[in-house]
A and B are shown apart, each in its own frame.
Chain A
Amino acid sequence: MKYLDSEKIRKEFPFIVKNKESKLIYFDNAATTHKPQAVLSSIANYYTYTNSNTHRSSHVQGVSSTEKYEQARQTIADFIGANTAEIIFTSGATDSINLVANSYVQNIINQGDGILTTEIEHHSNFLPWQKICKTKGGELKMISFDENFKIRVSEDQLIKERIKFIAIHHVSNVTACIQDVKKIIKLAKKLDIPILIDGSQAASHLKINVKDLDCDFYCFSGHKLFGPTGTGILYAKDEKIRKFLPNKLGGGMVSHASVKNSVWERAPLLLEAGTPNICGSIALADAVKYILKLGLDNIYKHENMLAACTIDVLKRIPNITLYRCSESSIPIFSFNINGIHHYDIASLLAENKISVRSGHLCCQPLMQKLNINGCLRASLSIYNTVDEIEQFGKSLLKIVKFLT
């Protein structure tokens, strides 16, 4: 059964249309997705009709720009069930996590305190915590995971390791595992430990409600959910955002400034110093509207179908090792073919006009844990088709034969 009309969707993405004749197959959507015409038009329209600085100018375009920017914040807030004052526009998930690290976490970590994360994290949700532990004398602790890449935290570990902050992924960019974050958040709340959820690989696939999750921080990048690059979101719970000390100072984040003293603006503006990415944030809101128009339930079911097809195709490949949670519905597939270097396969797939990722996927601690130097990753999105999956399987079989 079809939940989304992929042929109709493909026509809405100019990149896909432009590459129709060359039959390019784009399976690197976990890295970044293509943009629908609605987002491209939003960018063009902003610079054609609105372009003015926000929160400063009282002229017509300035007011319009501020209104559109704040409407975009409202759209994002509604998308994840937050209040607008809890939504901070950033340049991406990396920026969001670094903001939490530099404006909040480093002020609460002392000698001997623990920060808890996992070896499955993307480097962006790993390196900031490692740095804080090194500079503040804290200890970076790991959550263990089972053979299905599901993480398990116990109350005992949180107490014994003096955990003062937790940072985990919602969906892994390698294993596609959807973590039971709600359960872990509940445990963290019980012990009053603030917790950040990296939703970079979740936001375009799953319905997110931060109030229902009850996390303190949730973040994602705009470019992975059909929005422009250089856009991102940080949700920070109201009670936590009040404790943030801004690490970027400048225009737009003070209500009063004098030679003797300055008074910060209210949140979230105090965390958005300088001219923000106005156009990008408005276009990101239009990407969210595009997703909502398709319906996250439909996207989920459609991607589930694509995932099942891809699994069937990959099962036919000899000597394949999949690094994937068997329960996942997310169409991300990391794998190796025993005896063949992942880079050789990715290069020949590129010759066959199939774009996949190869390497450590910005997850070197996980690669070390799996005892591999990297892998291939095929990641699909709403505009990918069953025919493309079949073609991918055929090319992969041909390449494996060629290289062995």
Chain B
Amino acid sequence: MHKGLKEIVDSFLLFDSWEEKYEYIIDLGRELDPLNKGLRTDANLIVGCQSKVWLYCEEKNNKCFFYGDSDALITKGLVALIIKVFSGLDKDEIVNFDKAFFEKIGLRSKLSMTRSNGLNLMLQKIINFAKK
């Protein structure tokens, strides 16, 4: 388990209420590096989310890196969380990533259905990129 992932698991284990969990997610969003305006394009927009989500993927020295943003606070936090989990991994690591991770940390069960779908769309884009 890499450092970013361990940090998330440890944090989530401490939360009891929805307030704590969302506070953590929103804070992750606030700490996210701003997305270069040139990358806020329709090509990087994930279609199907109720809020706008941009996710840009690139590969450098056999490692994948992700950059993103959203116009909604909680979704932006989720983008940041996804980036924290996957950025810096190689393609094999992403493809073989434990799909049940988000259930295990109780993230999915704590989110309304559409939010889960948004999460699924982001995951799908990252996995598709890694499979190329």
Partner of A343, one of B18, B23, B51, B110: B51
Nearest A residue to B18, CB-CB: A351
Residue of A nearest to B71 (CB): A341
Smallest distance from the beta carbon of B28 to chain A beta carbons, Å?
Answer: 14
Bin chain B's interface residue count: 10 to 19
B112 within 8 A of A: yes
In the complex, per-residue mask of A335-376: 1 if CB is within 8 Å of any chain B CB, else 0? 000001101101110111000001100000000000001100
Closest A residue, CB atoms, query B19: A402
Q: Taking the complex as formed, is B121 at the interface, i.e. its CB lies under 8 A from any CB of chain A?
A: no
Q: Could you list 8 examples of A-B contacts with CB < 8 Å?
A: A341-B51, A341-B71, A344-B74, A346-B112, A348-B18, A348-B74, A402-B19, A403-B73
Among residues 47 to 93 in chain B, which have CB atoms less than 8 Å away from a CB atom of chain A? 50-52, 71-75
Question: Which residues of B have CB within 8 Å of A350?
Answer: 112
Q: A343-B51, A402-B22 are in contact. Are A351 and B72 (CB under 8 A)?
A: no
Contact A343 to B22, CB < 8 A, known contacts A350-B112, A351-B110, A351-B112: no
B125 in the interface (beta carbon within 8 A): no
Q: Are B71 and A373 in contact (CB under 8 A)?
A: yes
Asked if B115 lies at the interface with its beta carbon under 8 angstroms from chain A, I say: yes
Contact A347 B115 (CB under 8 A): yes
B111 close to A (CB within 8 Å): yes
The smallest C-beta distance from B73 to any residue of chain A, in angstroms, reads: 5
Q: Is the CB of A341 within 8 A of B72?
A: yes
Nearest neighbor of A351 in chain B, beta-carbon distance: B18
User: Given the complex, which residues of A lie within 8 Å of B115, measured CB to CB?
Assistant: 347
Whether B112 pairs with A347 at a CB distance below 8 angstroms is: yes
Known: A351-B110, A358-B50. Is A343-B19 also a contact (CB below 8 A)?
no
A402 to B19, CA, bound (A): 8
Cα distance, A346 to B51, chains bound together (Å): 11
Given contacts A343-B72, A347-B114, 6 further A-B contacts (CB under 8 A): A341-B51, A351-B18, A351-B112, A358-B50, A359-B50, A402-B23
Name the CB-closest residue of B to A404.
B73
Bound-complex Cα distance A334 to B51 (A): 17
